[in-house]
C-alpha cells in the first residue's frame, strides 16, 4: 500500500508489551513504569487477527519489539500465529537478549527468522550501570546462540552516548571484524528519559564513522537482509559489518516503509507522531475485518512526511520508546 508521499508501506513493528526486565537509563525510569493492565493490552489472538488484516493492506514484514518482547507470556505462540499469516515473509524480533538463549530453539521453530540484540557496551560494569540490573554475560550467550542456530543476519543495536560508551566504538567495530555480526550504531533520540540525558550526549553517525574510518577503511556494503534504514559498511577481512542509523543527523523519512502498533492497540504512522488510531477500541466495539482494514488504510494515509525529532530535545514525550516500540 502506497502512502500519500509515494512510500510503499510494507513493514509493521509491534510493541507486544510495555514491560521490561531491564531499566536502561535512557529509556525507562528506575522505578519502572505504571504498566498497562491485562484489560488494556491486546491479546495474542487480537494481535494475530490484526496482523492478518495488515497482510491484506500490503504488510509483508513484521518485527516484534517492546518493552521487552520476550517477557510477554506466550510470545512463542504469537510468533507461530504470525508465521502462518499468508503474505508475511519476514518475522523478526528486537530484544535485550536476557531471556533469549534458553528459548532460542523454540523461537526459531515457531518461525522467528531474525533477531536484533541491543547491547550498548562490552564491559560488564558499564552494562550493569546502563541497564541498572542486567548481566552482559546473558546477552553474549544469546548472541552466540543465535549464531549457532544460523539465524543470520544477527544484528546488534548500539546507542552511542557521549561520555558513556563513545570510547568503545572501535571495540564494537572489532567485534564485527571477528564475528559474522552486523553492528548498528543508532543515534540517540529524544524519546526516553529526557530529564537524565541531553543533546550533547548524542554522537552522530558521521562522527562514529570518522572514528572507525580512521583505523579501518569502510567500504559500502549492500545485500544485508533487513527492512530498515541502516547504511552498512564492510571492513577489510571482517566477518560482519558496521551499520549506521541516523534518525537525527540525516533522517530517512522519505524511505520509511513502516507503521507501528502499540501493546494497547494504537496504530501510529511514525515513532514521533502523536496521532494514533485506536484499534483496541474498535475491537471492543465489534469491528469487522473490513472496518479494521479501513483503519489500517487510514493510518497509512495519515503517515506524516517526516518526523520533527530534532525539535524534541528537552520536551517530555507523552509516550516513550518502550511504549511505542523501539
Ligand atoms: N527491549 C528491547 C531492546 O532493548 O532491544 C526492545 C525495545 S527497545 C525500546 C528497542 C531499541 O530502542 C533498543 O535498541 C534501544 O537501545 C533503543 N532505544 C531506546 N531508547 C532510545 C533512544 N532514546 N534513542 C535511541 N535508541 C533508543
Ligand atoms: Fe528495556 Fe529495551 Fe528500554 Fe532497555 S531499551 S529499558 S531493554 S525496553
Question: Is 320 part of a structural domain of the chain?
Answer: yes
Instruction: Cell 500519500: give the residue.
Output: 4
Integer angstrom CA distances of residue 283 from 18, 56, 298: 20, 17, 16
Give me the residues paired with residue 209 across strands.
Answer: none
Residue 320 — very low, low, confident or very high, per pLDDT cuts 50/70/90?
A: low
Position 6 in a domain = no
pLDDT of 24 strictly over 90: yes
Q: Which ligand is nearest to the CA of 32?
A: 2
Number of H helices, E strands in the chain: 10, 12
User: Which residues does a 6 A CB cutoff place in the pocket of ligand 1?
Assistant: 20, 26-27, 65-66, 68, 94-96, 118, 157, 159, 186, 188-189, 191-192, 321-322, 326
Q: Which ligand is nearest to the CA of 196?
A: 1
Mean pLDDT within 300-320: 61
State mean pLDDT over 41-60.
95
> Mean pLDDT of all residues in the chain?
89
Using pLDDT thresholds of 50, 70 and 90, give the confidence band for residue 312: low
In 10 A of CB 86, how many CB atoms? 8
Going from the Cα of 129 to the center of ligand 1, the distance in angstroms, rounded, reads: 16
Q: What is the mean pLDDT of residues 98-102?
A: 98
Q: Work out the average pLDDT over 50-68.
A: 95
> From CA 182, how far away is CA 234, in angstroms rounded?
10
Q: Would you report the helix, strand and coil content of the chain in percent, each value rounded to 5?
A: 35, 20, 45
Taking only the tens place, the pLDDT of each residue in 195-226 is 556 778 889 999 999 999 999 999 998 877 77
How many domains does the chain fold into? 1
Share of the chain above pLDDT 70, in %: 87
Predicted confidence at residue 75, as pLDDT, reads 96
Nearest alpha carbon to residue 186 among 169, 170, 174, 198: 169
* Separation between Cα atoms, residue 159 and residue 114, nearest integer Å: 20
**Distant-in-sequence, close-in-space partners of 101: CB < 8 Å, separation ≥ 6:** 138, 141, 142, 144, 145
**Residue of 252 and 299 predicted with greater confidence:** 299
CATH number of the domain enclosing 249: 3.20.20.70
Exposure string (b/e) for 165-190, b if CB count within 10 Å is 16 or more?
beebbeebbbbbbebebbbbbbbbbb
**Nearest C-alpha neighbor of 88 from the set 53, 50, 57, 59:** 59
H helices within the chain, ranges in order? 44-56, 75-83, 100-110, 124-131, 136-148, 169-178, 205-213, 279-284, 289-301, 321-324
- Measured by CA distance, the residue closest to atom 20 of ligand 1 is 27
Q: Is residue 5 part of a domain?
A: no
Tell me which of 24, 321, 323 to substitute to probe ligand 1's pocket, judged by most ligand atoms within 8 Å of the beta carbon: 321
Residue 1 lies in a domain: no
Asked if residue 315 has pLDDT above 60, the reply is no
To test the ligand 1 pocket, which listed residue (20, 32, 118) has its Cβ within 8 A of the most ligand atoms?
Answer: 118
| pLDDT for 95 | 98
Residue 306 lies in a domain: yes
Helix (H) or strand (E) holding 278: strand 277-278
Q: What is the pTM of this model?
A: 0.92
Question: What mean pLDDT do residues 260-283 have?
Answer: 87
pLDDT band at 250 (very low <50, low <70, confident <90, very high): confident
Please indicate, yes or no, if residue 2 is contained in any of the structural domains: no
**Residue 8 confidence (pLDDT) above 70:** yes
List the domain range (segments joined by +) for residue 316. Answer: 11-324
Please give the pLDDT value at position 316.
47
Yes or no: say if 143 and 176 are a contact pair by the CB < 8 Å rule.
Answer: no
Question: Are 72 and 106 in contact, with CB atoms under 8 Å apart?
Answer: no
Q: Which of 118-122, 153-157, 250-254 has the lowest mean pLDDT?
A: 250-254
pLDDT digits (tens, 9 = 90+) for 75-96: 999 999 999 999 999 999 999 9
Residue 16 lies in a domain: yes
Across 124-152, average pLDDT: 97
- Is the pLDDT at 34 greater than 80? The verdict is no
Q: For residue 3, is it within any domain?
A: no
Amino acid at each position: 500500500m502506497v502512502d500519500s508521499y509515494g512510500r510503499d508501506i510494507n513493514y509493521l513493528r509491534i510493541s507486544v508489551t510495555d514491560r521490561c526486565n531491564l531499566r536502561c537509563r535512557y529509556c525507562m525510569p528506575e522505578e519502572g513504569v505504571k504498566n498497562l493492565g491485562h484489560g488494556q493490552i491486546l491479546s495474542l489472538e487480537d494481535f494475530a487477527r490484526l496482523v492478518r488484516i495488515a497482510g491484506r493492506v500490503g504488510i509483508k514484514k513484521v518485527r516484534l519489539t517492546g518493552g521487552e518482547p520476550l517477557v510477554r507470556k506466550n510470545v512463542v505462540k504469537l510468533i507461530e500465529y504470525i508465521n502462518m499469516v499468508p503474505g508475511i515473509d519476514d518475522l523478526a524480533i528486537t530484544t535485550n537478549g536476557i531471556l533469549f538463549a534458553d528459548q532460542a530453539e523454540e523461537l526459531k521453530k515457531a518461525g522467528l527468522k531474525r533477531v536484533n540484540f541491543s547491547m550498548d557496551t562490552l564491559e560488564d560494569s558499564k552494562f550493569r550501570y546502563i541497564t541498572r540490573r542486567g548481566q552482559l554475560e546473558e546477552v553474549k550467550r544469546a548472541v552466540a546462540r543465535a549464531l549457532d542456530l544460523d539465524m543470520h543476519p544477527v544484528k546488534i543495536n548500539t546507542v552511542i552516548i557521549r561520555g558513556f560508551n563513545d570510547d568503545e566504538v572501535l571495540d564494537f567495530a572489532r567485534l564485527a571484524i571477528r564475528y559474522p555480526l552486523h553492528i548498528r550504531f543508532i543515534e540517540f533520540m529524544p524519546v526516553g528519559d529526557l530529564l537524565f540525558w541531553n543533546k550533547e550526549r548524542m554522537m552522530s553517525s558521521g562522527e562514529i564513522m570518522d572514528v572507525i574510518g580512521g583505523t579501518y577503511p569502510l567500504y559500502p556494503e549492500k545485500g544485508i537482509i533487513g527492512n530498515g534504514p541502516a547504511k552498512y559498511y564492510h571492513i577489510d577481512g571482517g566477518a560482519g559489518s558496521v551499520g549506521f542509523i541516523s534518525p537525527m543527523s540525516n533522517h530517512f523519512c522519505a524511505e520509511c516503509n513502516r507503521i507501528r502498533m502499540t501493546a494497547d492497540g494504537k496504530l501510529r504512522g511514525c515513532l514521533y507522531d502523536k496521532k494514533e488510531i485506536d484499534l483496541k477500541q474498535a475491537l471492543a466495539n465489534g469491528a469487522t475485518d473490513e472496518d479494521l482494514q479501513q483503519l489500517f488504510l487510514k493510518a497509512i494515509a495519515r503517515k506524516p512526511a517526516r518526523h520533527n525529532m530534532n525539535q524534541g530535545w528537552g520536551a517530555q514525550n507523552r509516550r516513550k520508546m518502550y511504549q511505542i516500540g523501539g
